[in-house]
Structure 1
Amino acid sequence: MTFLLRSVGFRRGTCWVPPFELRPGWLVRVYLPNFSQRSNEPLGRDLAQQIALVLIFLAKPDRLLPYARPYQNRRRDYWPWPPTVARYLRKQHQASPEQVRRIAQELELNERQPMRELGLPQRLALDMKGLWLRYEAVQFDFYGLQADSVAWLEQVLAAELARGKAAIGFDNLQLLPPQEPLLYTERVVVTEPGGGHWAFERDASSPPPS
C-alpha cells in the first residue's frame, strides 16, 4: 500500500491528533473542537492551520502538501482588468488552456466569468483543483461553508478521489455526522485530554498520552 503521509500522532497545543495515514484516492477528514475546554480560547480554523503546518513538515522532503485557500478579491488584482476564472487558473496554477477548460466545465463555470462573482465554495474548489494539477494531495477546511455548499464540495472531492488524488479536510466537531458521506474517508476526531471524547475509526487502540 502506498502512503502519501503517515502520522503516528502528535500534540498541538492542548490537543492530541491521533495517528492516521493518507493514501491515494482517500480523504482524511479531521474534526476539530471550536473552543478549548481548558482555557475557553477559540480553536477551529486556527487549530486547523496549526495542524496543517505540522503535516506539511511531516510530508517533506518527498512530497508537498499545500493548503487550499479561496481566492480573495484584492484591489491590485483588478488592474488592468478584473481576474477571470481562466486568468486565475493560468496565473495562479500555471494551468494549460486544456486544463482551464476541463476545470471550468467540471465546476460548471464560464472561463470568462470574473472571480468576484463566484461564491466561497466555487473559489475554494478552483484553488483545490488548481493545486491538484501539480500535487497528489491538498489540505483544506470546510469552515464558512453552508450545508448545501459542503454537499457540493463533497461531490467535487469524490470526482478527484476517483482519479487517485487525496485530501485532508478540517471540519467542525459539532457537525460530526453518524457516518461519512464519501466512501473512501478516514475519520479523525481531535479533542483535548480529559475532554471526554476520543475517536479514531481506523484504529481505536492508540489512546492519547496522559
Structure 2
Amino acid sequence: MGFDLALELVDLLSKNKVVAGLSISVPVPHAKNYQQNFLERNISIKTAKQYLLKKFNIVSSRADNILDDLGISANERISWLKWSKRKALTIKGLLANNNIISFDYYGISADSIDWINDIIQHELNKEKCFIGFNNLQYMEEQEPYDNFERIVVAYNGKI
C-alpha cells in the first residue's frame, strides 16, 4: 500500500480523480516533493524566494517571512536545500493561500520529522488544517502532538 495509496488519496482529495458516491466540495492541494529538471538545476537556477514568488504567487514580504521562519536564505538555490527544507518550503508556500493542504512524510529523514511536525503544529495553532500521509516507519507508540489525530489504514490486517 504505502506511497501508492497516499497518491490515490491525494488524487481523490485534489479532485484529479472522480469516484462515484464521493463528493469533495473544495479541492485539497498537495505539497508534493519539489522536483527540477536538468535545465532548472543547472542553467536557470531557481532560488528559494523565486520558488515562493512564482510557484505560489506570494508577495515578496510574505515570502521573506516564510524564509525567515524556516531559516532559509532568500538566495539559496532550491537544489542545495535538504529534502525536508524543500518540503517545508512547499508546505508553507501552499498555506499562504490555502487553509487546508495534504502532504506526505515520504523522503523526509527520521531526524527531520520532528522539525516538520513542529512547523505543522505551529500552523495548526493558526487554524490551518492538514492531511498527512506516512508509512509509519518511525511511529511513536503515543501520538506526541495534541492537535494531531492518527488514523491508521490497514489492508487485510497489514499496515
Query: TM bucket by the smaller chain?
Result: 0.7 to 0.9
| Alignment pair present for 1:134 and 2:93 | no
- SS of the aligned residue for 1:189 comes to coil
Partner of 2:47: 84
Structure 2 counterpart of 1:50, one-letter code? E
The TM-score, its normalising length taken from structure 1, stands at 0.67
1:120 counterpart (73, 77, 83): 83
Whose radius of gyration is greater, 1 or 2?
1
Gaps of 5+ in 2: 16-21
Partner of 2:19: none
| Identity score, percent | 31
Bigger fraction of residues in helix: 2
Counterpart-to-counterpart distance in 2, 1:191 and 1:176: 15
Structure 2 counterpart of 1:148, one-letter code? D
- SS of the aligned residue for 1:87 comes to helix
Q: How much is the aligned-residue C-alpha RMSD, in angstroms?
A: 1.9
Higher relative contact order (CA 8 A, sep 6+): 1
Counterpart-to-counterpart distance in 2, 1:173 and 1:80: 38
1:75 counterpart (34, 38, 46): 38
Change over 3 Å in CA distance of 1:175–1:78 after alignment to 2: closer
- SS of the aligned residue for 1:172 comes to coil
| Alignment pair present for 1:60 and 2:18 | no
Counterpart-to-counterpart distance in 1, 2:151 and 2:133: 10
Aligned residues: 153
Do 2:105 and 2:132's aligned partners in 1 also have CA atoms closer than 8 Å?
Answer: yes
Counterpart-to-counterpart distance in 1, 2:23 and 2:94: 16
Runs of 4+ in 1 over 4 A off after TM superposition: none
Gaps of 5+ in 1: 1-42, 198-210
Q: Which moved more, 1:148-157 or 1:49-58?
A: 49-58
